[in-house]
């Protein structure tokens, strides 16, 4: 934002300014991927808090996230059989070892 010889109000930019300060303090380099992930995370949390996503939808979302993170397998354990584990995922460690 450029202003010259005038006053400007930036109250509508406070969230963005605070985010820039946080990133600068953490010495992180902003990237499109990081910005997009943060935005999607915030929006998903808003939808969950509004009650627009039930527990089944949330489990499917997390399963899809695990696939996006490189899981070879990610399955939702049927209710009643889960023993406190709703999703079981398998990853290849160093491309060779399977970790569940």
Give pLDDT tens digits for 31-53: 888 888 888 888 888 888 888 88
User: d(Cα 75, Cα 67) in Å, to the nearest integer?
Assistant: 10
Judge whether 20 lies within some domain: yes
Query: What pLDDT is recorded for position 79?
Result: 82
Residues 47 and 31 occupy one common structural domain: yes
Judge whether 7 lies within some domain: no
Q: How many domains does the chain have?
A: 2
Judge whether 82 lies within some domain: yes
Judge whether 100 lies within some domain: yes
Judge whether 6 lies within some domain: no
**pLDDT for 48-99, tens place per residue?**
888 888 888 888 888 998 898 888 999 998 888 767 778 889 988 776 666 6
């Amino acid at each position: 934002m450029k202003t010259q010889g005038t006053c400007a109000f930036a109250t509508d930019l406070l969230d963005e300014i605070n985010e820039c300060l946080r990133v600068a303090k953490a010495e992180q380099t902003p990237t499109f991927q990081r910005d997009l992930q943060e935005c999607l995370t915030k929006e998903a949390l808003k939808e969950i808090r509004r009650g627009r996503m039930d527990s089944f939808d949330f489990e499917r979302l997390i399963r899809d996230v695990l696939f996006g993170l490189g899981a070879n397998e990610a399955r939702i354990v049927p209710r009643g059989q889960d023993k406190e584990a709703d999703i079981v995922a398998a990853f290849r460690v160093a491309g060779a070892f399977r970790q569940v």
